Structure 1
């Protein structure tokens, strides 16, 4: 079993409406051992509060009066202080090297704004990296001395943060070989950012001015066929972003391509490829994203074209991607997000790119097996423990319910209460999950069957972590249960082979 290359700590796994759990992830290379500048944050809807909450659950005082973390996602970190709050401040100031922002919506940014005054001059400014459109929005609409003080080092600000404007698709001046285009994210990790679409709005980013302007305003050339703004989507008259295909007439469905409506511009979001320097392994973390099938500017296919060969080579280990709603939501009310039917459609494109990246001999064998009627059961051994395909032999994803490695002393890993059969333990990394994992050192009797049955599946052994689920705050099952059910059922019908998991807040995932 390969050693984990990444640890991802989920500070905020949801898309709201609760403000204490919105999107925020920490990522580090396992080779860095919690050293200074060894962690990168991806989005910061929840940041410092999530660190404090997670530390509070796992911190204790030893016989010498020192604070220690014996389990949980921060296990192994040498704490500088006694309380969770003081140690969280240390992590924010010194351990987190930079913050990657996928897009500037508040559920991905608010924690950063509130937390930034904690930065100390002795540590230098905190790097905030994003595409130019996101930097523009933060600079002009948040850190602008109106919504929030200008804490940046631009335009006479306080200098607590410094903007890093990323080159879309990667900067070819940096890196060599497979790392070409990647820039430093933190010690041990490099990143490359690709643009994706998150719906539409009437604010367009102008690269020359570095600002956003309303589409149809005097900044842009008038279009004789553009209708007055008051006649557009009267049920959505505030100019906010909206994803689905709507006509200019009272929100009715359209049959023509939505891209022809020049009154709308794309809301730009991002997909971050994050690469481990030591192993060359990668993960992708998506911001909010809509399906190509309803987008003004379909951009997802380009991400899949890059990701497919990496999966085939065994270097791309997992993706973190949103699935905000279940399939009861129609396209007209997706608002720039995914639901299971659209995520599966996107993963089908990815699966095609994996097939294309394999050798002709392998593709031919796979095509023959795809004609079989049998579909592997969901009860087969979890892909976190078995990598049945040759092109995934190098890849391994491990997750514990509290973020500890498989050989950790965490009471929730390998505890007798979780054992359900000789040599097996329950995987309880998300609500309702009852996948079976081989215990350390054990051998599965189903391995041979998994190899023979699942070779036909292009994404066999590949793990998809679902984030940004929007909580309904109602009685009854959590929305993740239905979303997972729909994803797993449709994935099985599509013969993809990937596995889906919904991480909990405060969970550490080893990949």
Structure 2
């Protein structure tokens, strides 16, 4: 009887295995104030290892998530010489997915590299070239990479991604497929993460196709549409840097609530009418205002919630917050 009960428990555990993603916000803002900029961790909920989605902020975000008990399920050896922050940073992050080489998406990676361990940096060729030639070059910072100028410390291995090609992310169960985006005529990336047949889409900085004279967003929507139809897309992470009062000429490759609504019209064309209802949409890269009594986060939140044409489910995560899908 005990053996039978044990077998039934094992079967029920396997059947009830929770697929999906955990996303931890390391940095939620789009610049201006350092210490809370453009960075997220993502993992398969069935394992302990993460990859970073951009890395404008790393260490302060880990500390904040620990304070909020959002790494509670991770195994940290009691005999390690490292603090909890140090151990998670060094051992649980297995690589960095960098959407583009702008400072607010890489500064945390660069400044903390002196205490990091051997890891992969994934990105499109344009991103890798920026890091190799302009960052890890012994002028701005020592060359922690495996390619580039001068003596190579070989801490980071550059993994050049090719558009629309699937790549396994070393040390994790996740796979990624990259797509090119236009960010004020500079190349950015949408990363489509896959975990056991479920997906999450992470957009780096991106401007409206109409303003950018691009089809970057639409090309990604062609891919996401069928996944939404099949209920396989767990969430979209996409930016809204400004409120809708920002003029198009001053967007510099960013979105607003008005433009998110316009772009979702295109997405629905590929996913089917009414199919966006209940879709999880995580808003990233909100740029804080330094004006008196001007809360950009609240303004953007208010606009999106009051004009939620497609009845999606919006999230506005703050540093250290954990979301599961």
How high is the TM-score relative to the length of structure 1? 0.58
Q: Structure 1 residue 478: deviation in Å?
A: 2.6
Q: How far off is 1:471 after superposition?
A: 0.4
| 1:105 matched residue in structure 2 | 102
Give SS of 1:460's match: coil
Q: 2:113 maps to which residue?
A: 116
Q: How far is 1:473 from its partner? A: 3.1
Deviations 1:220-241 (A, max 9, x none): xxxxxxxxxxxxxxxxxxxxxx
Partner of 1:480: 297
User: Alignment partner for residue 90 of structure 1, among 79, 87, 91?
Assistant: 87
Residue 204 of structure 1 is matched in structure 2 by none
How far off is 1:11 after superposition? 0.7
Whole-angstrom distance in 1 between the partners of 2:318 and 2:116: 28
Alpha-carbon offset, residue 504 of structure 1: 1.2
CA deviation after TM superposition for structure 1 residue 186, in Å: 4.1
Q: Deviations over 1:411-437 (max 9, x none)?
A: xxxxxxxxxxxxxxxxxxxxxxxxxxx
CA contact (8 A) 1:52 1:84 kept: no
Query: CA separation in 2, counterparts of 1:27 and 1:54?
Result: 13
Structure 1: stretches of 5+ with no match in the other structure: 59-71, 171-180, 200-265, 356-365, 367-456
The runs of 4+ residues in structure 1 deviating greater than 6 Å are: 82-85
SS at match of 1:284: strand
- TM-score, normalised on structure 2? 0.90
Contact 2:36 2:60 in 1 (8 A): no
Q: For residues 491 and 152 of structure 1, do their structure 2 counterparts lie closer, same or farther at Cα, with a shift above 3 Å needed?
A: same
Evaluate the alpha carbon distance shift between residue 85 and residue 289 of structure 1 in structure 2; reply closer, same or farther with a 3 A threshold.
farther
Q: Structure 1 CA distance, aligned partners of 2:57 and 2:75?
A: 23
Is the 1:458–1:497 contact (alpha carbons within 8 Å) kept by the matching residues of 2? no
Q: Which has the larger radius of gyration?
A: 1
Alignment partner, residue 133 of structure 1: 126
CA–CA distance in structure 1, aligned partners of residues 171 and 316 of structure 2: 26
2:155 is equivalent to residue 160 of structure 1 = yes
Equivalent residues of 1:185, 1:191 under 8 A apart: no
- Root-mean-square deviation (Å): 2.0
CA distance in 1, matches of 2:17, 2:299: 32
Q: How many residues align?
A: 308
CA shift, 1:474, in A, is 3.7
Q: Encode CA deviations 1:288-341: one digit per residue, 9 max, x unaligned.
A: 000000114331100000000000001001111000000110101001100111
Report the counterpart of residue 497 of structure 1 in structure 2: 311
Q: Contact 1:471–1:478 (CA<8 Å) still a contact in 2?
A: yes
State the distance in 1 between where 2:216 and 2:108 align: 28
Q: Is the 8 A contact 1:189 1:275 kept in 2?
A: yes
Q: 1:183 aligns with which of 164, 168, 173?
A: 168
- Deviation at 1:83? 10
SS at match of 2:180: strand
Using the alignment, how far apart are the partners of 2:81 and 2:307 within structure 1?
A: 42
